Amino acid sequence: MMRKTEFAFWTFLLMTGLAGATTLLNVTRTYSATTENSELFRQLDLFGDVLERVRSDYVEKPDDTMLIESAINGMLSALDPHSSYLSPKNYRDMQVQTRGEFGGLGIEVTMENGVVKVVSPIDDTPASKAGLQANDLITHLDGEQIVGLTLEQAVEKMRGPVNTPISLTIVRKGVDDPFDVKVTRDIIRINAVKANNEKDVAYIKITTFNEQTHTNLVKAIENAKKTIGKDLKGYVIDLRNNPGGLLDQAIAVSDDFLERGAVVLTKGRNNEETQRAQAHPGDLTDGKKIVVLINGGSASASEIVAGALQDHKRATVVGTRSFGKGSVQTIIPLGANGAIRLTTARYYTPSNRSIQAKGIDPDIIVEQDLPDELKKKAESVAESQRGEASLRGHLRNPENGNSEDGKEVKEVSGSSAYVPKEPEKDKQLQYALSFLRGTAIDAKTAGATVPTPTPAPAAKPDADTKEKAKN
């Protein structure tokens, strides 16, 4: 019979992927005699005991893959809220999101009463060209009914290789009988940047940081210059409810507005792992005034951009305190076994401020007027429960120590993430427009407050930053 230590060792190989077998074997041979690794193998024996017991005695025969994946995910999620295991499917989905393009139909959908409901067809895509409309119900895919599938499963079936057809059975209000629509899949690009002109101000909303973000932002700025012309007063960069994305895209977006200086610092476990991203000459906006909008839903890459432009005094940050996710996650592929998302560093603004469990405080605070149904909910939820600081197991902010009386400083981050659908009711947007036009000089009159700034320590020069860490 296999010894427990050997069983645990091979179980651990399953957890780490067979590609790492040689390396792990060498490590165990080199360090097996040390006290530290003796304790590690004792714990692996424990894991082996539990796994054997579950496989032999559980009331139903468990799935071995599920057991191992759950064990891996449990190990990673115990580190912090953002480290996790990605199964092969989840890894592929993550790549689609960060790449910003996939083979599909080009429709935004939701699930309603067991069938897929079209929220909106995306312009210039196979779905819009085939005549799909908002509120259409999709009941069958290639003749197979959707009832019983989850939304994710239905979406997976609608995606596929470019130039392959799929037949959708549609139920439409005002049409008596269901009818079939044949659609040929094409490359669908997720536009991370949405822009429009507010008369003499360019409004640019960045919804996520994928591989297309920088390119789409450049196009939006060029279009604003062309359409507004010499009357252009400035830019509103809306980062509200933007959850983050690729670190290199956050750096590129910040660089688009800066002529020089640091963009972000990333610091790993050891001081020698500190890296620094630097801006290059060339401000795409030609020095025009910029307002950056943030709220409690602005996280990670969004906070990098807001913090960089704030520290360099290149933009005025308006809104409410951001989410406070100041850590960098690196995606480490495991071959056919998926990947792990592992927190490998904290990031700091150019003036060496850590945002972790703290967030970015705006230069000018503008609170939204909540509708009645949200007011009661807001009153029952503490402000500190809306950001990174409220997540169980979050990384501590290294700048937080103890107060003068010896008590630990309480971490607070995040704020309301509510944004009205109607632009005229959006107090943060309306203040930004007035600010750029020079008509909102008195912040108090405009319903805004200007917080007292706190000095930040000076930044330290370091090397270039990491590429493509995921936030």
Residue 127, CB-side half-sphere exposure with 13 Å CA sphere = 25
What percent of the chain is modeled with pLDDT above 70? 81
Is pLDDT larger for residue 386 or for residue 336? 336
**What integer pLDDT is reported at residue 108 of this predicted model?**
82
Res 382 pLDDT > 80: no
Band of pLDDT at residue 386, cut at 50, 70 and 90 = low
Q: What is the mean pLDDT of the chain?
A: 84
Check pLDDT > 60 for residue 337: yes
Q: Which of 84, 300, 327, 415 is catalytic?
A: 300
Could you tell me which CATH number the domain at 101-189 has? 2.30.42.10
In the predicted model, is pLDDT for residue 356 greater than 60?
A: yes
Q: How far is CA 380 from CA 319, 373, 385, in A?
A: 22, 12, 10
Res. 15: pLDDT tops 50: no
Comparing 458 with 302, the larger pLDDT belongs to 302
Give 19's pLDDT tier (boundaries 50, 70, 90): very low
Q: What angle do CA 55, 60, 61 make, to 5 degrees?
A: 45
Looking at residue 384, its pLDDT comes to: 38
Secondary structure element (H or E) that encloses residue 32, with its range: none
Q: Is 182 a catalytic residue?
A: no
User: DSSP for 392-431?
Assistant: TTPPPPTT--B-TTSPBPPP---------SSGGG-HHHHH
Name the residue with higher pLDDT: 38 or 85: 85
Task: Give the mean model confidence (pLDDT) for residues 81-90.
Answer: 90
Kindly indicate the confidence band of residue 461, based on its pLDDT and cuts at 50, 70 and 90.
very low
Under 8 Å between Cβ of 451 and 365: yes
In angstroms, what CA-CA distances link 398 with 88, 305, 359? 34, 21, 13
- Concerning whether 311 is annotated as a catalytic residue, the answer is yes
Decide yes or no: CATH 3.10.310.70 for domain 193-449.
no
The confidence score (pLDDT) of residue 400 equals: 66
Residue 76 has pLDDT above 80, yes or no: yes
- Cross-strand pairs, 470: 246, 329
**pLDDT of amino acid 20:** 44
Q: What is the structure's pLDDT at 450?
A: 65
Residue 284: strand, helix, or coil: coil
Is residue 232 pLDDT above 90, yes or no? Answer: yes
pLDDT of 2 higher than 90: no
Kindly indicate the confidence band of residue 13, based on its pLDDT and cuts at 50, 70 and 90: very low
The rounded distance, in Å, linking the Cα atoms of 59 and 66 is 16
Q: Exposed, middle or buried: residue 388 (CB in 10 Å: 0-12, 13-18, 19+)?
A: buried
Q: Which two tokens stand for residue 462?
A: 């370091």
**Least reliable range by pLDDT among 17-31, 76-90, 267-281, 453-467:** 453-467
Mean pLDDT of 339-344: 94
- Position 349 scores a pLDDT of 97
Q: Which of 204-208, 264-268, 383-387, 451-455 has the lowest mean pLDDT?
A: 451-455
Residue, of 150 and 443, whose pLDDT is higher: 150
Positions of E strands within 5-136: 84-86, 101-104, 107-112, 115-121
Terminal CA-to-CA distance of the chain, rounded, Å? Answer: 45
Going by the DSSP 8-state scheme, the letter that residue 459 receives in this structure is P
pLDDT at residue 31 tops 50: no
Span(s) in the chain for CATH 3.90.226.10: 193-449
Neighbours of 164 (CB within 10 A): 10
Provide CATH 2.30.42.10 ranges for the chain.
Answer: 101-189
Query: Which member of 248, 311, 426, 462 is catalytic?
Result: 311
**Residue (of 331, 310, 208, 213) closest to 264 by Cα position:** 310
Q: Give the separation between CA 241 and CA 116, rounded to whole angstroms.
A: 25
Give the percent of the chain with pLDDT over 90. 58
Q: Which residue has the tokens 């002109």?
A: 197
Burial of 37 (0-12, 13-18, 19+ CB in 10 A): middle
* C-alpha span between 401 and 155 (Å, rounded): 47
| pLDDT of 378 above 80 | no
pLDDT at residue 287 greater than cutoff 90: yes
Q: What is the reported pLDDT for 244?
A: 92
pLDDT band per the 50, 70, 90 thresholds, residue 311:
very high
What's the pLDDT at 460?
A: 39
- Please answer whether residues 238 and 216 qualify as being in contact, where contact means their C-beta atoms are separated by less than 8 angstroms: no
Residues 211-223: pLDDT tens digits? 999 999 999 999 9
Burial class (CB in 10 A: 0-12, 13-18, 19+), 463: exposed
Only one residue has tokens 């610092």, namely 265
Q: Residue 220: its pLDDT value, please?
A: 97
Active-site residue, from 205, 267, 288, 325:
325
pLDDT computed for residue 401 by the predictor: 54
3-state secondary structure of 470: strand
Q: Annotated catalytic, 325? A: yes
pLDDT exceeds 80 at position 269: yes
Range in 85-99, 204-218, 447-461 with the lowest mean pLDDT: 447-461
Poorest-confidence range of 63-77, 300-314, 457-471? 457-471
Distance (Å, whole) CA 51 – CA 64: 9
Beta strands in 275-322 (DSSP E): 275-278, 289-294, 316-319
Name the pTM for this structure.
0.77
Residue carrying the six token digits 């703290």? 358
